[in-house]
Amino acid sequence: MSCNWGTELWDQFDNLEKHTSWGIDFLERYTKFVKERADIELSYAKQIRSLSKKYHPKRSREDESRYTWCLSFAATLQQLNELAVQREELAENLNSQIACELTRYTQELKTERKTHFQDGRRAQQHIESSWKQLESSKRRFERDCKEAERAQHVSDRIDLDSKTDGEKARQTAQQKQQAAEESRKDYVTSLNQFNQDQHQHYHTLVPVIYQRIQDMEERRIERIGEAMRSSAEAERKVLPVVRRCLDAMMDAAESIQPRKVTFLWASVLSVLVEVW
């Protein structure tokens, strides 16, 4: 087992954090794009509407309602106003049904993402502290072994010279031996605990968190696809109405009758001619 495994895992979590953060950035960028698109549509609609209003006859003059070309222009302006209404509806759809929903969803996603990385960090901290516990038990056991060995050595040498000192050294060696035994047991416990923690970390905790992050990513991407489809669909829905408006403009243009108009005007003249 490499000593830098913790760093590698940590790097991996960092990569995941970067990747998911980039995903959220993209979501926010796309939302901003949809909003700006809606603003453009709204400003276009506003211009079209005020153009229609500007050229619409102030009041229905008898003069104007008598001529087919005046009536046709008025009909064209009315259809233009209808086009503005359509663009306004598109802007409204893009804003409320797409951008607002995406903003709300992004907030949810940020919260969910935070939870997953908090869980990840908690798991990471737990395995790290388990590793530290194991390292410290190991060091204590190694130290206690050395001390017990040294005490045994001292006891073995003193035993040959003096009985009283020998008894004391034997007791010390025995105590050190016991302490080493305790440290060994402790080390074994820590090792078992760590092995268990490590197994759980790699086979349960981390895979579950990864799976959740992966699910979250899939949902995010599905959601982006859905938003893109809805945007295109919102705009496609406008087309048949635009088509109808343009057909109505064409009908209005075709209903202009130059001869009918001048006949009317000529009849006015003939009345005046009779006066002479």
Distance in Å, CB of 242 to its own copies, minimum: 7
Own/partner pairs for 115-121, CB < 8 Å, 24+ apart? 116/209, 116/212, 116/213, 116/216, 117/13, 117/16, 117/17, 119/205, 119/209, 120/13, 120/16, 120/206, 120/209, 121/13
Is there binding between residue 267 and its own copies (CB under 8 A)? no
Q: Phi first, then psi: give them for residue 200, nearest 5 degrees.
A: -65, -40
Does 269 contact its own copies by CB under 8 A? yes
Residue 249 binding its own copies, by CB under 8 A: yes
Instruction: Decide if residue 219 touches its own copies (CB under 8 A).
Output: yes
In the bound state with its own copies, the residue whose beta carbon lies nearer, of 123 and 169, is 123
Per CB under 8 A, 195 contacts its own copies: no
- Count other Cβ atoms within 10 Å, centred on residue 78: 15
14 contacts its own copies (rule: CB under 8 A): no
Look at residues 164, 206, 249 and name the one whose alpha carbon lies nearest to residue 5. 206
Binding track, positions 47-76, relative to its own copies; x by CB under 8 A: xx--x--xx-------x----xxx-xx--x
Q: Which helix (H) or strand (E) holds 253?
A: helix 206-254
CB 178 within 8 A of CB 223: no
Q: Does 106 bind its own copies (CB under 8 A)?
A: no
**197 touches 125 (CB < 8 A):** no
Residues lying near its own copies in the complex (CB under 8 A):
2, 5, 8-9, 12, 15-16, 19, 22, 26, 29-30, 33, 36-37, 40, 43-44, 47-48, 51, 54-55, 63, 68-70, 72-73, 76, 202, 210, 214, 217-219, 221-222, 224-225, 228-229, 231-233, 235-236, 239, 242-243, 246-247, 249-250, 252-254, 256, 258-259, 261-262, 265-266, 269, 272-273, 275-276
